[in-house]
Amino acid sequence: MKKQSLWGSVVTHGTLIFITLATLYPLFIVLRIAFSPGDSGANASLNPLPREWSLDNFEAVVTATSSRGEWLFGRQLLNSIIISVATTILGIFLATTAAYAFSRFRFAGRKAGLMAFLVSQMFPGMLMMVPLYLILDALGLLNASLGLIVVYATTAIPFAVWMLKGYFDTIPKDLEESAIMDGASQFTIFWRIILPLSMPAVAVTALFSFMTAWNEFVLAFTLMEEPTSFTLPVTIYAYVGEQSVEWGKFAAASIIVSLPVVLLFFALQRNLVGGLTAGGVKG
């Protein structure tokens, strides 16, 4: 029995290690291309390690300038940070208040509103491209960070509301009734009781909102015109030409854009499991 248990453990761990390496192998290829000088790493070799190590591609991405001598990477990094953070704050503020209302109050149009949020998720984002462009053009928000913030925040609200509502439903109403007996207002209950108890779900929802705004490409490419107004994902596309692709810079830029999201995952990993699973069962 001990030998069978040992062999079973070896097979299980060996299988898991193999699957993990197979999953990470494409990432190793991207790293090889990024750390190889020029585009020398973009070949058909299956070796995940570069023959020569170089930071030339990263340096080229970070020090890129426009035709007018403007530092593109710095401006685009700042644009991505401002847009992503502002989108997350605005979206979470609107989503938490709306989700709490849908969870706790009964009012006319409640079911219709929830269904409208759900139905809106059925349509692809490309379907809204023309209306959004016309609306922002009429408001004078084309080629402006505020325009992207408004678009990203509003499009993230339906998902955020449904996710947070499911979590709010799991919080016992007895806590609120006790607070009301002690003289707490509805805002105090929401701010001091519901939100602190809902931080795992809020953290996960904020992470998804941030990721959506940080990684979005199509709207940023369509609604922005000046290179200094672009976000970092649009920078990656700049290395794809009509005749060729600068694979080294493309891979280096991809790694740079991915780093903030990876760091956020590590910072919020304690809340991820609880935030994603809680709310799935109403209790």
How confident is the model at residue 138, as a pLDDT?
92
How confident is the model at residue 238, as a pLDDT?
85
Q: In terms of domains, do 128 and 167 share one? A: yes
Distances (CA, A) of 127 to 123, 131, 148, 179: 7, 8, 16, 45
Q: In terms of domains, do 77 and 197 share one? A: yes
Checking phi first, is residue 249 left (phi over 0); if not, alpha (psi -120 to 50) or beta? alpha
pLDDT digits (tens, 9 = 90+) for 146-198: 999 999 998 899 989 998 998 899 888 888 888 888 888 888 999 998 998 88
Q: In terms of domains, do 156 and 205 share one? A: yes
Query: What percent of the chain stands above pLDDT 70?
Result: 94
From the list 157, 170, 255, 278, the residue with the least C-alpha distance to 206 is: 157
Q: In terms of domains, do 102 and 8 share one? A: no
pLDDT band for 273, please (50, 70, 90 cuts). Answer: low
Average pLDDT, the chain: 87
Q: What is the CATH number of the domain that holds 231?
A: 1.10.3720.10
Indicate whether 261 belongs to any domain: yes
Q: In terms of domains, do 109 and 11 share one? A: no
* 73 token code pair: 């990477």
How confident is the model at residue 282, as a pLDDT?
45
How confident is the model at residue 283, as a pLDDT?
42
Query: What percent of the chain stands above pLDDT 90?
Result: 40
SS3 content of the chain, % helix, strand, coil (to 5): 75, 0, 25
Indicate whether 283 belongs to any domain: no
pLDDT band for 52, please (50, 70, 90 cuts). Answer: confident
pLDDT digits (tens, 9 = 90+) for 219-260: 999 899 888 889 999 988 888 877 788 999 999 999 999 998
In angstroms, how far is CA 207 from the centroid of its own chain? 6
- The predicted model scores a pTM of 0.85
Q: In terms of domains, do 8 and 141 share one? A: no
* 55 token code pair: 């930071």
Q: In terms of domains, do 18 and 75 share one? A: no
How confident is the model at residue 46, as a pLDDT?
79
Query: How many Cβ atoms sit within 10 Å of the Cβ of residue 71?
Result: 14
Q: In terms of domains, do 35 and 158 share one? A: no
Q: Where are the beta strands (DSSP E) in the chain?
A: none
Indicate whether 231 belongs to any domain: yes
Query: How many Cβ atoms sit within 10 Å of the Cβ of residue 255?
Result: 18
The more confident residue out of 244 and 33 is: 33
* 275 token code pair: 């935030």
pLDDT digits (tens, 9 = 90+) for 68-103: 888 999 999 999 999 999 999 999 999 999 999 999
How confident is the model at residue 253, as a pLDDT?
93
Indicate whether 109 belongs to any domain: yes
Give how many domains the chain has, as a whole number: 2
pLDDT > 70? residue 266: yes
* CA pair distance 270, 92, nearest whole angstrom: 19
Q: b/e for 102-135, b at 16 or more Cβ within 10 A?
A: bbbeeeeeeeeebeebeeeeeeeeeebeeebbee
Q: In terms of domains, do 129 and 37 share one? A: no
Indicate whether 59 belongs to any domain: no
**Residue span of the structural domain in which 129 resides:** 64-277
Query: How many Cβ atoms sit within 10 Å of the Cβ of residue 101?
Result: 16
pLDDT > 70? residue 276: no
pLDDT > 60? residue 47: yes
From the list 31, 24, 27, the residue with the least C-alpha distance to 248 is: 31
pLDDT digits (tens, 9 = 90+) for 195-227: 988 888 898 899 889 999 999 998 999 899 888
Indicate whether 140 belongs to any domain: yes
Q: In terms of domains, do 13 and 102 share one? A: no
pLDDT digits (tens, 9 = 90+) for 123-150: 777 788 888 899 999 999 988 999 999 9
How confident is the model at residue 279, as a pLDDT?
46
Indicate whether 282 belongs to any domain: no
